[in-house]
């Protein structure tokens, strides 16, 4: 089952603007749909194509890359080995799972310069980083990141093409959707949170399978991630695996700050920093870093050893939280009907981080001290997320309910004499504007 994905339009733009002068590498975590979209694009936008799947290709195909210095021989052998040839200037060659055969990625420089065909690469970042040592990364390679399905893509998979335009219009006009539509949309969004955006799980959901079956699909993906992390950890003493496994526990803490003591009481950031970065670079986790000052140059003030680590896909986080057993169906329904209770806060904050990241935002939060007028002591406050919009700071608070307290916002404005473009509280009720703050339902986060 092929789903409509927004990355398709990015590939169209690459094809038109590149005009054969660059290859494109679709980067992403495993099972987000990279190979599927590459093949669908090839079928629709070219006269013909060949897929070289380096998870399955023969040694003969691999050895043929030794002929890259003689491209006439290279293509003659390739077409004989694959049993077909391609019309020039009208075809594309897909290098699937290219991280498994770095020599093919290095060959892109010469293949693009040759100009006979277009080239699409797909790579799972969880292993691509380890397989580039000793090769020249081609400058002729453009990169497009592919994330799990977002809420709109999830709605498309259900055949729903009307809800998101209504959400977008309400957001742009700053008008509420109304109680009936808001309630229906929140239920759809909770379904999205529960199922997640991994196509394999969405297929089961669309086919009407039980939540136990959907969860089994996600558990399989988590097992694949753990296997891949285990391969990386052969040189890292299981550091990345441990970091990934502790994400739910880290997020269950009230502050959600990543604490290395949950891994080992003697663990320190400096000894784990490469593994933490690897989890993020592999796109299976999203790091949100504290900034010491709320300045538009957020990266400059980033305090890298003070961070939160979210799951790349919230549906996978739900599967990490819900243990296998007879209660799986009931627990999923409790989440969808807003009866899960204590764990809902971490799930909502995780999905907000996921949506902000997929929309091209960096993830930053800010801790600060402030002494309220009615207090004799300075207290610690936190802004959940800071975005830059129009060269101005945009602070965001996340509430997993309809609770609308905003002391952190008020003190933030008092402490820092900065211009705030917009202040948002993301919560579960309908859109409203009050006290200089825009309250938006969580399903509008992807529009920020």
Looking at the predicted structure, is the pLDDT value of residue 134 above 70? no
CB-based contact 239:272 (threshold 8 Å): yes
- The pLDDT assigned to 189 comes to 96
DSSP calls for 366-426: EEEEE--TT-SS-EEEEESEEEEETTEEEEEEE-SSS----HHHHHHHHH----BS--EEE
Total tally of structural domains belonging to the chain: 2
374 located within any domain: yes
Q: Are residues 88 and 57 in the same domain?
A: yes
pLDDT at residue 132, as a whole number? 55
Under a CB-based contact definition with an 8 Å cutoff, are residues 144 and 6 in contact? Answer: no
Give dist(CA 271, CA 261) in Å, integer: 13
Residue at 272 is within a domain: yes
- Which residues sit opposite 91 in a β-bridge? 48
For residues 125 and 197, state if they share a domain. no
Q: 91-96 and 302-311: which strand pairing?
A: unpaired
Name the domain boundary from 112, 145, 178.
145
State the Cα–Cα distance between residues 154 and 164, nearest whole angstrom: 10
For residue 305, count other CB atoms closer than 10 A to its CB: 15
The backbone region for 137, taken as left when phi is positive above 0, alpha when psi lies in -120 to 50, beta otherwise, is beta
Q: How many whole angstroms from its chain centre is CA 370?
A: 34
Q: For residue 192, is it within any domain?
A: yes
Cα dist from 389 to 114, 156, 279, 296, 447, whole Å: 42, 28, 28, 9, 12
- Give the model confidence (pLDDT) of 303-355 as tens digits: 998 999 999 999 999 998 876 445 677 778 778 877 655 557 889 999 999 99
Q: Has residue 1 been placed in a domain? A: no
Concatenated DSSP letters of 18-54: HTTS-EEEEEE-TTSSHHHHHHHHHHHHSSEEEEEET
Q: Where are the beta strands (DSSP E) in 101-167?
A: 118-124, 141-145
Tell me, yes or no, whether 432 and 365 share the same domain.
yes
Residues 317 and 405 grouped into a single domain: yes
Range of the domain at 167: 152-447
**Structure token digits, residue 18:** 């590149």
Do 185 and 297 fall into the same domain?
Answer: yes
Structure confidence at residue 56 (pLDDT): 93
pLDDT band at 128 (very low <50, low <70, confident <90, very high): very low
Instruction: Sort 69 into a burial class: Cβ within 10 Å, 0-12 / 13-18 / 19+.
Output: exposed
Shared-domain flag, residues 22 and 125? yes
DSSP 187-216: HHHHHHHHH-S-HHHHHHHHTT--HHHHHH
Q: Is the pTM of this model over 0.85?
A: yes
| Domain contains 201 | yes
Given the structure tokens 């939540």, which residue do they identify?
211
pLDDT digits (tens, 9 = 90+) for 355-392: 999 999 999 999 999 988 878 888 999 999 999 988 88
Residue at which a domain ends, from 90, 119, 145: 145
In a domain, 245, yes or no: yes
Which of the two residues, 342 and 254, has the higher pLDDT score? 254
Q: Are residues 131 and 272 in the same domain?
A: no
Per-residue tokens: 12 = 């169209």
Where are any strands of DSSP class E within 202-337?
Answer: 285-291, 302-311
Rounded to 10 deg, the angle between the 163-173 and 179-195 helix axes is 120
Residues 418-445 have pLDDT tens digits of 777 789 999 999 999 988 899 999 999 9
- pLDDT computed for residue 130 by the predictor: 55
CB atoms near residue 70 (< 10 Å)? 11
- Say what the pLDDT of residue 404 is: 67
* pLDDT at residue number 33: 95
Query: Is 371 within the bounds of a domain?
Result: yes
CATH of the domain at 40: 3.40.50
Contact of 31 with 283, CB cutoff 8 Å: no
CA–CA separation, 14 and 217 (whole Å) = 33
Residue scoring higher pLDDT (305 or 50): 50
Domain co-membership, 189 together with 262: yes
Interatomic CA distance for residues 432 and 414, integer angstroms:
23
Give the chain's largest Cα–Cα span: 81
Domain boundary among 130, 145, 160: 145
Instruction: Give the mean pLDDT of 125-138.
Output: 57
Same domain? 299 vs 363: yes
Residues in the chain: 448
Q: Establish if 2 belongs to a structural domain.
A: no
**Which of 227, 219, 441 lies closest to 338, judged by CA?**
441
Task: Assess whether 141 and 186 both reside in one domain.
Answer: no
* pLDDT computed for residue 234 by the predictor: 67
Residue 152 has pLDDT above 50, yes or no: yes
Q: Percent of the chain beyond pLDDT 70? A: 92
Matching residue, tokens 């797909």: 122
Residue range 131-149: average pLDDT?
Answer: 78
Do 85 and 194 sit in the same domain of this protein?
no
Question: What pLDDT, on the 0 to 100 scale, is given for residue 391?
Answer: 84
Query: Is there a single domain that holds both residue 301 and residue 416?
Result: yes
Alpha-carbon distance 97 to 87, whole Å?
A: 24
């Amino acid at each position: 089952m092929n789903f409509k994905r927004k990355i398709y339009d990015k590939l169209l733009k690459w094809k038109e603007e590149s005009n054969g002068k660059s290859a494109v590498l679709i980067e992403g975590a495993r099972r987000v749909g990279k190979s599927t979209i590459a093949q669908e694009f090839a079928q629709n936008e070219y006269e013909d194509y060949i897929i070289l799947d380096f998870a399955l290709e023969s040694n003969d195909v691999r050895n043929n890359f030794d002929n890259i210095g003689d491209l006439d021989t290279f293509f003659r052998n390739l077409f004989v080995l694959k049993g077909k040839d391609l019309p020039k200037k009208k075809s594309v060659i897909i290098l699937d799972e290219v991280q498994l055969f770095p020599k093919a990625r290095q060959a892109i420089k010469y293949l693009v310069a040759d100009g006979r065909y277009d080239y699409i690469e797909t790579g799972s970042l969880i292993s691509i980083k380890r397989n580039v040592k000793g090769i020249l990364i081609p400058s002729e390679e453009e990169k497009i990141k592919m994330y799990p399905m977002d809420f709109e893509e999830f709605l498309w998979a259900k055949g729903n093409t009307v809800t998101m335009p209504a959400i977008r219009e309400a957001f742009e006009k700053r008008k509420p959707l109304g109680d009936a539509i808001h309630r229906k949309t929140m239920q759809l969004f909770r379904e999205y949170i529960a199922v997640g955006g991994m196509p394999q799980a969405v297929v089961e959901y669309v086919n009407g399978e039980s939540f136990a079956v959907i969860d089994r699909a996600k558990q399989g993906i988590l097992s694949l991630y753990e296997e891949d992390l285990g391969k990386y950890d052969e040189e890292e003493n299981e550091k990345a695996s441990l970091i990934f496994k502790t994400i739910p526990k880290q997020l269950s803490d009230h502050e959600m700050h990543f604490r290395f003591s949950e891994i080992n009481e003697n663990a320190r950031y400096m000894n784990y920093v490469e593994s933490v970065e690897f989890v993020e670079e592999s796109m299976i986790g999203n790091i949100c870093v504290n900034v010491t000052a709320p300045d538009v140059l957020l990266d400059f003030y980033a305090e890298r050893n003070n961070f939160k680590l979210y799951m790349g896909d919230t549906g996978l986080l739900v599967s990490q939280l819900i243990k296998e057993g007879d209660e799986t169906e009931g627990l999923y329904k409790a989440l969808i009907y807003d009866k899960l209770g204590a764990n809902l806060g971490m799930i909502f904050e995780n999905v907000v981080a996921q949506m902000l990241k997929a929309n091209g935002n960096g993830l930053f939060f800010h801790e600060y001290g402030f002494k309220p007028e009615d207090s004799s002591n300075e207290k610690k406050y936190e802004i959940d997320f800071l975005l830059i919009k129009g060269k101005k700071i945009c602070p965001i608070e996340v509430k997993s309910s309809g609770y609308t307290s905003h002391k952190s916002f008020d003190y933030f404005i008092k402490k820092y004499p900065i211009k705030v473009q917009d202040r948002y509280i993301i919560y579960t009720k309908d859109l409203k504007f009050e006290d200089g703050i825009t309250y938006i339902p969580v399903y509008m986060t992807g529009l920020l």
